[in-house]
Amino acid sequence: MPRTATNGLKYFGALSGLAAVVVAGFFVTSLSAQKSAGARVDPSPIYGVSIPADYLDWKLISVDHLVAGSANQLRAQLGNDIAIRALREGKLPFPDGAIIAALHWNYVPSESNPVLAKAGAQAFVPGPVVNIQFMVKDSKKYAATGGWGFADFKDGKPSDEATHRTCFACHQPAQAHDFIYAQYAPTF
């Protein structure tokens, strides 16, 4: 490979890494603002699940892109240490104390990576927060719903009871995976 191409690849790799840091910073800033707004929110109706204070410190399970009707979202799933351990070990059912967070944003074009723009590519980053959802495993407390308690928060406030009544029904098709849709993202 010619020296200029090698230098270009190094430059592109460095800029890509920088872009990843910028995007991650945007995620954390966006979520920190929501977390601060939700620091004193009421728990979810029916299940009584609150926003865990430390959820931004949890590990990444996976990311996805949802396109359905008018929805066009970037989504990330995080897990506390108990959930991550269960996912890594393939342990089903999940142990009590496992908590999974689902973070959803509408996405917007990124203007922060000129190298991608010059290459004719477009990156997207999180825009406005749609909602944050949590699943909390407590096999005794939530026995009627597969051992899971649910929560959905919009603008730092719990969604209404009607929304929460749909949670378990939505997760029933994933019963074989202990009602969890999130799959641990492959890494090398």
- Considering the segment(s) 3-177 as one domain, its CATH architecture is 3-Layer(bba) Sandwich (3.50)
Quick one: pLDDT at residue 40? 58
Q: Tens digits of per-residue pLDDT, 76-100?
A: 999 999 999 999 999 999 999 999 9
- Three-state DSSP at 117 gives helix
Count of other CB atoms within 10 angstroms of residue 83: 28
Among the residue ranges 1-10, 111-120, 160-169, the one predicted with the least confidence is 1-10
Name the DSSP class of 172: G
User: Which residues pair with residue 136 across a beta bridge?
Assistant: 99, 149
Measured CA to CA, the distance from residue 107 to residue 72 in angstroms comes to 7
Domain spans, the chain:
3-177
Residue range 24-48: mean pLDDT, rounded: 60
Burial readout 4-25 (b: 16 or more C-beta within 10 A, e: otherwise): eeeeeeeeeeeeeeebeeebee
- The whole-model pTM stands at 0.77
